[in-house]
Structures are given as structure tokens and as C-alpha cells.
């Protein structure tokens, strides 16, 4: 396993749509690297394009910073249900360190994905899990968290980020 360099905005790979995974076995080493890189960062989620892997895969662990590891690898994920209820909260991104933004997300989702053995799973998520999954799934679609902001908030966040660079 390896801790890899995290791709930083404005790298063009972060704005690209990722390809579906057809060979899970060939991806297992990359998934181990995703987990190791995420924990070392330290983050709660990391998507393929954030390490230059342009495949529809992300890893997450909503509980490890609170003392309960709950690692989850999601291959070819999709949201199959979304609540009408929305929540707004601060989100950071390992590909854009040093800045956070208040992002509106669905309070509850159902995420369908393939696991490491290729079995299709479905999981209802709320709270931090739902937010992390939505954030990471956005990365697979070439969407950054600031893309979900209104024009002025987006401009302010990008200005703050540029000032850090």
C-alpha cells in the first residue's frame, strides 16, 4: 500500500467524468492506496480522481475520527433515493485544502454500489455518512464542492484558496 499525492484544484482531472469500473479485481490495490492516502491526509473520504484514478470508485470512513473505524469502498456508486429534506453544513476537500464552504446536501440518501467482491449493495445514509458519500460521488462526476455554491460564495472561496497557494 502507498500514501499517494492528492490531486489539487485546479487540476483538470477534478472536472472530468470518471469511467465505470469493469474489473474490480484490477482495482483492489488502488482501493488500498485510496484508504491509506485518505487516513494519512487525514480525511473522511477520497475519490479516484483525487489520486489521478479516473474510475468510478471512492472510499470513506465517517467514524474513524471519532474512534470507530467504518471503512467503506464504493465501486460504481449511484444515489437511488434522496430525501426532500436538505441540510447545510461546512465541507472541506482534500483537493482544496485550507478552505471550507457551507454546502446544501440531501439529509438522507440511499446509495447503491458494488463492494470489493463485486456484490451490489444498497445502504441508507444520514448525517456525516450521507454528506461524505454525496461529496465523493460529486468528484466522480467532475463536480467540486464549490460548484454547488451560489456565484458570490464560489468566487469568495476560490479567492481564499488562491490566496493560500
Cα–Cα–Cα angle for 34, 126, 122, nearest 5°? 65
Strand blocks (E) in 13-158: 45-47, 57-60, 72-82, 86-92, 100-106, 108-114, 120-126
- CA dist., res. 130 & res. 163, Å (int): 31
**Of residues 129, 136, 150, 162, which has the active-site annotation?**
136
Sequence-ordered alpha helix ranges (H) in 57-108 = none
Verify whether residue 136 is a known catalytic residue: yes
52 DSSP assignment = T
- CA dist., res. 135 & res. 141, Å (int): 10
- CA dist., res. 21 & res. 2, Å (int): 21
**Residues with catalytic annotation?**
136
Amino acid at each position: 500500500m502507498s500514501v499517494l499525492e492528492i490531486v489539487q484544484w485546479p487540476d483538470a482531472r477534478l472536472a472530468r467524468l470518471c469511467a465505470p469500473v469493469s474489473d474490480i479485481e484490477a482495482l483492489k490495490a488502488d482501493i488500498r492506496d485510496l484508504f491509506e492516502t485518505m487516513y494519512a491526509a487525514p480525511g473522511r473520504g477520497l475519490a479516484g480522481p483525487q489520486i489521478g484514478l479516473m474510475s468510478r470508485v471512492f472510499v470513506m470512513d465517517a467514524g474513524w475520527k471519532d474512534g470507530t473505524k467504518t471503512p467503506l469502498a464504493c465501486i460504481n456508486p449511484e444515489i437511488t433515493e434522496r430525501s426532500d429534506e436538505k441540510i447545510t453544513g461546512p465541507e472541506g476537500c482534500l483537493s482544496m485544502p485550507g478552505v471550507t464552504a457551507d454546502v446544501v446536501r440531501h439529509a438522507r440518501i440511499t446509495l447503491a454500489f458494488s463492494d470489493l467482491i463485486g456484490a451490489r449493495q444498497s445502504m441508507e445514509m444520514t448525517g456525516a455518512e450521507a454528506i461524505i458519500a454525496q461529496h465523493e460521488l460529486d468528484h466522480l462526476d467532475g463536480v467540486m464542492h464549490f460548484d454547488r455554491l451560489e456565484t458570490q460564495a464560489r468566487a469568495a472561496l476560490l479567492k481564499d484558496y488562491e490566496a493560500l497557494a
